[in-house]
Amino acid sequence: MTGEPQAMALGSKNDDAVTQPAAKADACILLWMAGGMAAPDTFDPKRYHAFEKGLEVSQMLSTFPAIDTAVDGLKICQGLENIAQVMDRATLIRSAVQPDLGSILHSRHQYHWHTGYVPPQTVACPHLGAWMARVLGPRNPVMPAFINIGQRLEGVGESEELKAFTTAGFFGSEFGPMNLPMPEEAAQSVTPPTGMDANRFANRDRLFRQLVDRNPNRDFMSDYQQQSLLRGLDNAARLLSSREREAFDI
């Protein structure tokens, strides 16, 4: 089967409802291939035509032949043989249709995929990871429920747009991501700087909370949002003083 949503194809052949087994996962790992793979050359093979110099664009549908998978009738592209062997444990979605966002900016499409909302929005929308943090919560009360690895937010094009959706949005700061743009520096993210002893940290925390309470924009912030910010600070402090932070030394 190439290029046709399987659930729709099955439904057209018989009247049996498509089974939907109960979810068992207690965590979600999203691998975001930014700017990445072309669907006709990976998981949605079309008519194969070997690439050759001068090939007409109209003939360039799939430049990799389709291969069988562990699922009868389901094919993906050559080069993904290892993935093909475990496709019986996967869900392949070929029916997603992008909205017309009227712009070629990648960040607008990323905003839609990461939040489920089409930009622009009048409110801050939560990232998919924030939904997981809000609904499932942390598996360990000390560890962050949402960790964002490898996404640089500074020094890159469209950085403000990336920041707009890499947040907890209206859920509140406590459900936002712990950003680790450089995985090799993860241990530094949970290590207090030299000279930051417990007393100095407590003093800074006290002063910061006073600043939050006296924020001139306080009237525009709900009590919930303010308390969520403070709970996020408590969560961070708990991680910094825990043994679990050793897990970030990779």
Examine the domain organization and report whether 114 and 218 are in the same domain: yes
Domain boundary among 67, 97, 127: 97
What does the alpha-carbon distance between residue 74 and residue 66 come to, in Å, rounded to a whole number? 9
**Which of 214, 195, 208 has the alpha carbon at shortest distance from 236?**
208
CA distances from 16 to 8, 45, 59, 98 (A): 11, 27, 37, 29
Tokens representing 176 are 């936002």
pLDDT tens digit at each of 250 positions of the chain: 555 555 555 555 555 677 777 878 888 899 988 777 888 999 999 999 888 889 888 888 888 999 999 999 999 999 999 999 999 999 999 988 888 887 677 888 889 999 999 988 899 999 999 999 999 999 999 999 999 998 887 777 777 777 888 999 999 999 999 999 999 999 999 998 889 998 999 999 999 999 988 888 878 878 898 899 999 999 999 999 899 999 999 8
pLDDT of residue 34: 77
DSSP reduced 3-state for 27: coil
Assess whether 110 and 223 both reside in one domain: yes
Check whether residue 134 and residue 241 sit in a common domain. Answer: yes
Give the per-residue pLDDT at 11: 53
Residue at a domain's end among 46, 74, 97: 97
Distance CA 124, CA 168 (A): 8
Q: What is the DSSP string of 60-89?
A: -SBSS-EEE-SSTT-EEETT-HHHHTTGGG
Same domain (yes/no): 114, 138: yes
Q: Write down the pTM of the prediction.
A: 0.78
Sequence-ordered alpha helix ranges (H) in the chain: 6-13, 81-84, 106-115, 128-135, 159-165, 186-189, 198-213, 223-240
11 in the same domain as 35: yes
Q: What is the pLDDT of residue 55?
A: 86
164 CB-near residues (< 8 Å, 6+ apart): 111, 119, 124
CA 106 – CA 121 distance, rounded (Å) = 17
Q: For residue 100, give both structure tokens.
A: 């017309």
Q: What angle do CA 26, 29, 30 make, to 5 degrees?
A: 140
Q: Do 117 and 230 reside in the same domain of the chain?
A: yes
> What is the SS3 assignment for 105?
coil
Domain boundary among 69, 97, 125: 97
Residue-number span of the structural domain to which 25 is assigned: 1-97
Instruction: Note whether 114 and 168 are same-domain residues.
Output: yes
Task: Examine the domain organization and report whether 69 and 114 are in the same domain.
Answer: no
> Are residues 89 and 124 located together in one domain of the fold?
no
Q: What pLDDT is attached to residue 15?
A: 59
Is residue 130 located within the same domain as residue 202?
Answer: yes
Query: Are 117 and 153 members of one domain?
Result: yes
Number of folded domains that form the chain: 2
Look at residue 167 in the predicted model and tell me its pLDDT. 92
Quote the CA–CA distance of 226 and 221 in Å, as a whole number.
Answer: 7
> Do 90 and 37 fall into the same domain?
yes
- In the prediction, which pLDDT does 172 show? 94
SS3 124: coil
Determine the straight-line distance between the first and last CA of the chain, rounded to whole angstroms: 42
